């Protein structure tokens, strides 16, 4: 036995097999040119860093020696801030919320003063709390964050006529939500509160990635839902759900490959996990006619198909070692991975900013009170200042041009 002997064990493949396979390969379209890259992310990131630093320094100078809420030291409103409710009912500085004493939270055991109350949705609550910790507290202020069950609830709270009797909190003066106010909501605010300033602060966006070894294939939100939901519609019993039986992509859609469904993504209760659920899964769920009569879309499956990762930064490395798997990550530079288009649209800054990318949603900040713009400036500047961190932790992107 020798090298030659081992080499002689090789055989030529059957000619008819080679011919059949070749004819199948010939049916595939010729390779296109180099795929578009996500090159603008690097430029955007650099711009954000530079602009954020400049703005933070400017804000620091402007606020130096600020005694508190003195009207003369209020920063100017953000240029992109647009009044939603018309200034039919001008507000005065007296409409700024009165300080509310809350339980002590700092090491000095002094009572913290809640200068502002903000309302948002449950999925954005950790993010808004993070802004509070990162900026407001550091500047000797505090912001109470409350969460509504939905955007409609949060905006209703912002535009409510009376103070909430249940919680005993003053009416919120800030709302961070994932869609724009409707006309009726705006009218309601105008009637109950007066001026409301609207600022488009950024986007929350996720993307799907995979090792370049296998290349990318496009998935629709409906296909993502059918692959990842714990329960899916039972075709034999309309209106009822059954445990998700899909284990390969071709189970979801016969046109997809017969490859095992293997997805790595954020934890279901994390900010990004909730965003994945709200942006992708619920959109996919509601796009299916068989789900029309189902009240609540199912949770992400827990049978091993979906692997939860505590830190999204670990996902790219995991994808390199598990090239068959698909990763769900905050939108950004794909690095050495391939972007999987959603609904045929790859994640890109252009697609996110023109609202054509199904994996993203806008973020709007609403602040009540015509003369009370400081929180808006604070949040906008914090968005700038923490742009890199918030993208990784919360999948939130601050667009160029959001400079307050």
Task: Write out the residues near other proteins by the rule CB under 8 A.
Answer: 1-3, 5-14, 17-18, 21-22, 24-25, 28, 30-35, 212-216, 248, 259-260, 323-324, 336, 338
Nearer to other proteins, 68 or 260 (CB): 260
The distance of closest approach from Cβ of residue 342 to other proteins in the complex, given in angstroms and rounded to an integer, is: 18
Give how far the C-alpha of residue 66 lies from the chain's centroid of Cα atoms, to the nearest Å: 34
Distance CA 175, CA 383 (A): 15
The distance of closest approach from Cβ of residue 81 to other proteins in the complex, given in angstroms and rounded to an integer, is: 43
The distance of closest approach from Cβ of residue 57 to other proteins in the complex, given in angstroms and rounded to an integer, is: 40
Q: What is the token pair recorded at 364? A: 């709007």
Nearer to other proteins, 22 or 161 (CB): 22
Question: How is 236-284 classified by DSSP, letter by letter?
Answer: TSTT-EEE----BHHHH-TTS-S-B--EEEE-TTSHHHHHIIIIIIHHH
Nearer to other proteins, 28 or 289 (CB): 28
Beta strand pairing status for 263-266 and 306-309?
parallel
**What does the longest C-alpha to C-alpha distance in the chain come to?**
96
Q: Which DSSP letter does residue 76 get?
A: P
Nearer to other proteins, 181 or 338 (CB): 338
Q: Which DSSP letter does residue 292 get?
A: T
The distance of closest approach from Cβ of residue 257 to other proteins in the complex, given in angstroms and rounded to an integer, is: 8
Nearer to other proteins, 14 or 168 (CB): 14
Task: Identify the residue whose tokens are 């979906």.
Answer: 306
The distance of closest approach from Cβ of residue 205 to other proteins in the complex, given in angstroms and rounded to an integer, is: 22
Distance CA 256, CA 163 (A): 53
Asked if residue 33 lies in contact with residue 79, where contact means CB atoms within 8 angstroms, the answer is: no
The distance of closest approach from Cβ of residue 230 to other proteins in the complex, given in angstroms and rounded to an integer, is: 21
Distance CA 369, CA 261 (A): 50
Nearer to other proteins, 11 or 61 (CB): 11
């Amino acid at each position: 036995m020798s090298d030659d002997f081992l080499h002689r064990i090789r055989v030529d493949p059957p000619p008819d097999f080679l011919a059949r396979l070749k004819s199948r390969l010939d049916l595939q379209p010729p390779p296109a040119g180099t795929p578009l890259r996500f090159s603008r992310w690097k430029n955007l990131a650099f711009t954000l860093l530079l602009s954020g630093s400049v703005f933070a320094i400017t804000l620091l100078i402007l606020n130096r020696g600020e005694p508190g809420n003195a009207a003369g030291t209020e920063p100017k409103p953000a240029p992109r801030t647009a009044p939603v409710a018309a200034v039919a009912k001008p507000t005065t500085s007296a409409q700024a919320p009165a300080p509310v004493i809350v339980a002590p939270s700092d090491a000095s055991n002094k009572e913290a003063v809640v200068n502002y109350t903000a309302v948002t949705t449950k999925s954005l609550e950790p993010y808004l709390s993070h802004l509070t910790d990162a900026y407001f507290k550091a500047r000797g202020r505090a912001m109470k964050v409350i969460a509504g069950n939905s955007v409609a609830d949060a905006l209703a709270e912002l535009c409510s006529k009376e103070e909430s009797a249940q919680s005993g909190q003053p009416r919120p003066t800030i709302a961070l939500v994932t869609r724009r106010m409707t006309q009726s909501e705006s009218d309601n605010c105008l009637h109950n509160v007066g001026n409301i300033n609207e600022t488009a602060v950024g986007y929350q966006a996720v993307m799907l990635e995979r090792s370049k070894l296998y290349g990318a294939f496009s998935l629709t939100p409906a296909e993502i839902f059918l692959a990842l939901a714990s329960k899916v519609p039972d075709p034999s019993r309309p209106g009822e759900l059954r445990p998700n039986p899909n284990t390969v992509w071709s189970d979801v859609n016969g046109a997809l490959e017969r490859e095992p469904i293997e997805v790595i993504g954020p934890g279901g209760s994390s900010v990004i996990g909730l965003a994945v659920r709200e942006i992708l899964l619920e959109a996919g769920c509601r796009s299916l006619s068989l789900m029309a009569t189902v009240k609540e879309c199912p949770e992400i499956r827990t049978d091993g198909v979906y692997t939860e990762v505590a830190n999204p930064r670990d996902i790219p490395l995991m994808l390199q070692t598990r090239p068959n798997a698909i990763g769900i990550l905050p939108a950004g530079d794909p690095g050495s991975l391939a972007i999987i288009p959603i609904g045929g649209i790859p994640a890109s800054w252009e697609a996110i900013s023109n609202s054509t990318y199904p994996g993203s949603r806008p973020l709007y900040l609403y602040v009540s009170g015509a003369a009370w713009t400081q929180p808006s400036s604070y949040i906008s500047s914090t968005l700038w200042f923490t742009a890199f961190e918030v993208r990784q932790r919360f999948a939130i992107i601050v667009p160029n041009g959001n400079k307050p």
